[in-house]
Structure 1
Amino acid sequence: MNVKPRYVAIIVGLALLLGAAGSYVGMQYFGVSSNDNAGQSANVEKEAENFADLSEDEQKSFIEGLSGDTDIEKVEQAYQMIQENSLIEAEDNQLIEGAIEGMLDTLDDPYSTYMDKETMKQFDQSIESSFQGIGAEVSMVDEKVTIVAPIKGSPAEEAGLKPNDQILEVDGESVEGLDLYDAVSKIRGEKGSEVTLTIERPGSSDSLEIDLVRDDIPLETVYKDTKTVDGKKAGIIEITSFSEKTSKEFENALNELEEENIEGLVIDVRGNPGGLFTDVQEILEQFITDEQPYVQVEDSEGEKSEYRSNLQEMKDYPITVLQDEGSASASEILSAAMNEAGGYDIVGTKSFGKGTVQQTMPMGDGSTIKLTLYKWLTPEGNWIHEKGVEPTVEVKQPEYFYTNPVEIEKELSYDDNAEQIENVQIMLEGLGYEPGRTDGYFSKETEAAVSEFQADQGLETSGKVNEETGGKIQELIIEQVRSGENDQQMDKAIDVLFK
């Protein structure tokens, strides 16, 4: 590729314009994106469609008219200086991509990113039927790669990754300074391959090493169930993310539940990191009437657009929404709309807090810019970014739901005092044993509880926690969490439903 220095800025500017003209509009799996920019895109395309037929001077004039002559010349000058004088050689393409990445870095926005061809392929997979990896939605928070939520049934969920875990290293290599997609490319990989993540977990003083085996991650997004309490049947629909088929899957599940004569509905978006805006729209349009918007979008000029349904009547049964700290973007749109526009209760804990809207803009060569264009606002005009949606009924899960993976470097025994012991004590208590205390001191009561557990599991009854005993405790806790046993948030959601 041989590019004249004077046209570097022109090419970059034109690529952005043409990208807007052919942009994919939708809330992407790695975050929210715009609903409708078709009018703007059509205008840009019309303006740029004859660019190739212009003379060189006319092309330069066209771009300079958009950006300003002085700024364009400065970019050209920097490019020429590097090409003619730098001891370190760089290909034209490297400099151009570096310039784009640099522009985006100055925005100080973790959701505005540049994706090269390979990264874009991986990104596209994330809204298709399946992909390979560990199965976790990640975001950049305070310049750290942070877990938003593990995907249901994924290696990430099985290994015990949790919302707000911060990834420090991948296979011993630091991810500090990498952008989000470079970090993601290190984490993802082929089915059957192994990866070790070093994470920092809020509330834990020591970093944790978590081993995972990558797998196929199917994006089945809707699960339905029923639960009868005091003779009343509640329908339960869990949405794990919002992908291309989610709204249709939801509609089918809802119809089937209504045919079973449910008397109330729980919509569960716990651990749902978001997804396509169109799908959450189509779901909300089944519940929120046309009396007020279910979401608003505000552009950089402060202009607001409202989104309303054509629905005339609300459902004739009560509804509650379940959320937690892993509920983000599209999930938060749903929760906020159901509460503010529908008057329904939100049960659980405060959500993640992502209130910006991105749009992907193809650059014409397979690479793409994802740029923050809008804020989304709740029906009442509230911006929840970095604040989250507050539940109307706050309920946490039992303490063992929040425990850390058991890491035994040295056998734990009577009279020891350590953070790992506190973790084990909470787990034992969750499994029905009585460790006597949960403050990290290995007491005689804890020793007795460990011995009882070992005897029940056919292990050597030493009363000490070695790697085998710790691993078994963790295994049973994970099984118990997944089984839904003692799901206090769900119990409360149904209780609120029929209060």
Structure 2
Amino acid sequence: PVDAATTAQQLEVLNGLWNAVNDHYVYGDFRGRDWAAIGATYQAMIEAGLSDEAFYRLMGAMINELGDEHSYFQSPTEVAREAEVLARGNDFVGIGALFSPIPPGDTATILSVFPNSPAAEAGLLPHDVLLAVDGGPIRDEAGISRTRGPEGSIVTLTIQRSGTVPHEITISRRRVTGSLPIDFCLILDTRIGYIFLPTFFDESIADQTRAALIAMTADGPLDGLILDNRMNGGGLGSVASAILGLFTSGVQGYFVSRESSDPLDIVGEDIGGSQTVPLIVLVDRDTVSYGEVVSGVLRLAGRAEIIGGPTLGNVEQLRRYDLEDGSRVWLASATFEPIGQAAGIWEDTGIVPDILIPTRWDLFTEAT
């Protein structure tokens, strides 16, 4: 049985969440949902008695009722874990590579390799494909990568690089720490640079991008620069603004909520000619949120041409609402209004490239 004090606290959290959505959700019609009826339904389930674990799952389901595929709920444990990652960076035991599943999910491709990690020492590279772990599935029943495991344990990976036959690599797991690395290089025999931006969630991304620009322009200005946003799922507005500031400046649009219209006002800085270098931005269906906003803004500012596949259109600005028990809801509270266009237009259309070409991550590398 659940005691009355637990139920009372759960109802306080429910009311906080319900009020945040009711007062601040960007879509005043709640996207056709009856928000009052949804609140009453979930209140009845809580009053029937729920464990904390079941309650937090229920709050996540309640936010998902909005159907915007962007807003989400975090339990106090998830809030604390995120704060730790932001404060300390990554800290895990494994091989030191960031993977992205390849549909339907039986295989995965490497997005980034941590410097000085077991993966780096084994010669693994972005775009390599993980086919199997110890001859079996790449994830366990809970969906956790089987490349994780006890420090010092041995794991055998089946890897395939584009254009080659699969081969096995045996690696000893160890602790991996630090910020998620970007990937950058000069394309062979050119003065064209390439930078892969995996996320805007990591606050070190802007400084890493500055360092990449300094390194690539040490011997002179670039003739062009490719910004790869294909796998960029968005993140922090401060990081997105800092990246934009390397290539443009001034008011680039507005975030329009039910209460206000706030300018996206970019402070520019030039590193090795970054404010004028011709840009290509790569996008595709995994370019989301601020990844889409940055890509679209650079084109509207006359700074970039966009190449790749259409994005899905998920550009609401999430704002944080902290609840009574330390849980949190990230709520779509504003939509983006590009200069000279209607608010929310990219939510409807996504970012449509100037040149449509297939850009599947695991089939193309910086060299190709």
Listed one character per residue, the Cα deviations across residues 149-184 of structure 1 (whole Å, up to 9, x for unaligned) are 85323889676379xxxxx9953x5xxxxxxxxx76
Q: Structure 2 CA distance, aligned partners of 1:15 and 1:362?
A: 9
8 Å CA contact 2:237–2:290 kept in 1: the answer is yes
Matched with 1:11 is 12
Matched with 1:383 is 345
Paired letter, 1:309: I
8 Å CA contact 1:280–1:334 kept in 2: the answer is yes
Alignment of 1:337-352 (within 5 A): 337-352=297-312
Paired letter, 1:233: R
Q: Does 1:396 align with 2:352?
A: no
Listed one character per residue, the Cα deviations across residues 38-71 of structure 1 (whole Å, up to 9, x for unaligned) are xxxxxxxxxxxxxxxxxxxxxxxxxxxxx99x99
Matched with 1:493 is none
Matched with 1:308 is 265
Matched with 2:129 is 160
Identity %: 15
8 Å CA contact 1:18–1:364 kept in 2: the answer is no
Identify if the C-alpha distance between structure 1 residues 316 and 150 changes in structure 2 by more than 3 Å, giving closer, same or farther.
Answer: same
- Tell me by how many angstroms 1:8 deviates: 5.2
Alignment of 1:323-342 (within 5 A): 323-342=283-302
Matched with 2:207 is 248
Question: Structure 1 regions of 5+ residues with no counterpart?
Answer: 21-33, 35-66, 84-89, 163-167, 174-182, 196-211, 403-480, 488-499
Matched with 2:331 is 371
Paired letter, 2:79: M
Paired letter, 1:239: L
* Count of aligned pairs: 315
Q: Which structure's CA Rg is the greater one?
A: 1
Q: Does 1:239 align with 2:197?
A: yes
Paired letter, 1:341: A
- Tell me by how many angstroms 1:130 deviates: 1.6
Matched with 2:160 is none
8 Å CA contact 2:281–2:305 kept in 1: the answer is yes
8 Å CA contact 2:319–2:330 kept in 1: the answer is yes
Listed one character per residue, the Cα deviations across residues 369-394 of structure 1 (whole Å, up to 9, x for unaligned) are 33322223444445333743222233
Matched with 2:186 is 226
Identify if the C-alpha distance between structure 1 residues 185 and 367 changes in structure 2 by more than 3 Å, giving closer, same or farther.
Answer: farther
Matched with 1:135 is 98
CA-based RMSD of the aligned residues comes to 4.9
Question: Structure 2 regions of 5+ residues with no counterpart?
Answer: 27-34, 132-136, 156-170
- Tell me by how many angstroms 1:284 deviates: 0.9
- Tell me by how many angstroms 1:244 deviates: 0.8
Identify if the C-alpha distance between structure 1 residues 361 and 353 changes in structure 2 by more than 3 Å, giving closer, same or farther.
Answer: same
Q: Structure 2 CA distance, aligned partners of 1:355 and 1:342?
A: 20
Q: Does 1:267 align with 2:230?
A: no
Listed one character per residue, the Cα deviations across residues 53-112 of structure 1 (whole Å, up to 9, x for unaligned) are xxxxxxxxxxxxxx99x99998766655x25xxxxxx54x45654553443232234333
TM-score by length of 1: 0.49
Listed one character per residue, the Cα deviations across residues 208-261 of structure 1 (whole Å, up to 9, x for unaligned) are xxxx998747543334333475xx623333322221111122223323444432
Q: Structure 1 CA distance, aligned partners of 2:348 and 2:38?
A: 34
- Tell me by how many angstroms 1:281 deviates: 0.1
8 Å CA contact 1:297–1:304 kept in 2: the answer is yes
Q: Structure 1 CA distance, aligned partners of 2:349 and 2:185?
A: 31
Q: Does 1:282 align with 2:245?
A: no
Identify if the C-alpha distance between structure 1 residues 7 and 224 changes in structure 2 by more than 3 Å, giving closer, same or farther.
Answer: closer
8 Å CA contact 2:129–2:362 kept in 1: the answer is no
Q: Would you tell me which structure has more helix in proportion to its own residues? A: 1
Q: Would you tell me which structure has more strand in proportion to its own residues? A: 2
Secondary structure of 1:389's aligned partner: coil
Paired letter, 1:135: L
Matched with 2:32 is none
Q: Structure 1 CA distance, aligned partners of 2:180 and 2:210?
A: 14
Task: Single out whichever of 321-330 and 95-104 deviates more from structure 2.
Answer: 95-104
Q: Does 1:297 align with 2:297?
A: no
Identify if the C-alpha distance between structure 1 residues 73 and 235 changes in structure 2 by more than 3 Å, giving closer, same or farther.
Answer: closer
Matched with 1:472 is none
TM-score by length of 2: 0.63
- Tell me by how many angstroms 1:288 deviates: 1.8
Secondary structure of 2:208's aligned partner: helix
Q: Structure 2 CA distance, aligned partners of 1:386 and 1:145?
A: 28
